[in-house]
Amino acid sequence: MGDRLSGKVAFITGAARGQGRAHAVRMATEGADIIAVDIAAELPRCVPYNSASEADLKETVRLVEATGQRIEASVVDVRDFEGLGKAVENGVAALGRLDIIVANAGISVPEAWNEITPESFRDVMDINATGTWNTVMAGAQKIIDGGNGGSIILISSAAGVKMQPFMVHYTASKHAVTGLARAFAAELGKHSIRVNSVHPGPVNTDMGTGEMVNNLMRAAETNPNLNNMLTPFLPDYIAEPSDIADAVLWLASNESRMVTAAQISVDQGSTQF
């Protein structure tokens, strides 16, 4: 247990499992209270992996409370602007303040370019790009009102630095997240609010369940020359959620107080090849 975030409150989306849960628990171990939201329900039909559940969100609550910190959790879809605002209002009312936002919720859908439907493209963009904007808009004013500055971390992807083959919509959405971080950083800097984007490569989460791998392999067969575009330099091809959470914690802490509008890659070097 540490105190790098002692007395602070973090608002985290997609917190029921995977990276979102890792961010919540890691920040709690460093003294932060948590406002957690997740859709905790069936994802759009284009998503090939298993959806999170309310039981998953309850487990995140249990793990955070086990650290001794408080957590306010609710079921909210990041596409629901009003719902996110209410979650933040209720969370700040209960926990007293807001200092950190982690816009983590997102979906990934492997499809060859000519198999993407308008519905699929819209779902990916609505959740990954608009959902990230909704998240920042729901909480940024609360950080400003607190008068203490803060840190906003937007979870992009290696696809937001380079690209992800067979995911035109995902790549577009994650480039949008990168742009949102830089643009928000410029305008919120006068309030001592730092905004950065984090760019993971492959991470060991539930995104690898269901038909995800089969769908990715099927799409890859349409253009095998693209299969090695994200080759890592390090021997560990897949990161753990805790690896990403460590980077997010650093950005949330005062240790990175002079870092803003940066793109922090946690991708084993894969975007440099």
**Among all residues, which ones are annotated catalytic?**
170
**Residue given tokens 């499992």 in the structure block:** 17
Q: What is the CA radius of gyration of the chain?
A: 18
**Residue given tokens 């699929």 in the structure block:** 120
Tell me the C-alpha distance between 31 and 85, whole Å.
24
Tell me the C-alpha distance between 169 and 124, whole Å.
6
CA neighbours closer than 13 Å in the CB half-sphere of residue 141? 6
Tell me the C-alpha distance between 179 and 4, whole Å.
28
Tell me the C-alpha distance between 232 and 268, whole Å.
5
List, in sequence order, the alpha helices (H) in the chain: 18-29, 54-65, 81-95, 118-125, 131-146, 168-188, 212-220, 241-252
Residue 221 CB neighbours (<10 A) = 10
Angle separating helix axes 18-29 and 241-252, nearest 10 degrees: 50
Tell me the C-alpha distance between 203 and 267, whole Å.
9
First-to-last alpha carbon distance for the chain, in angstroms, is 37
Tell me the C-alpha distance between 117 and 123, whole Å.
10
Tell me the C-alpha distance between 55 and 145, whole Å.
34
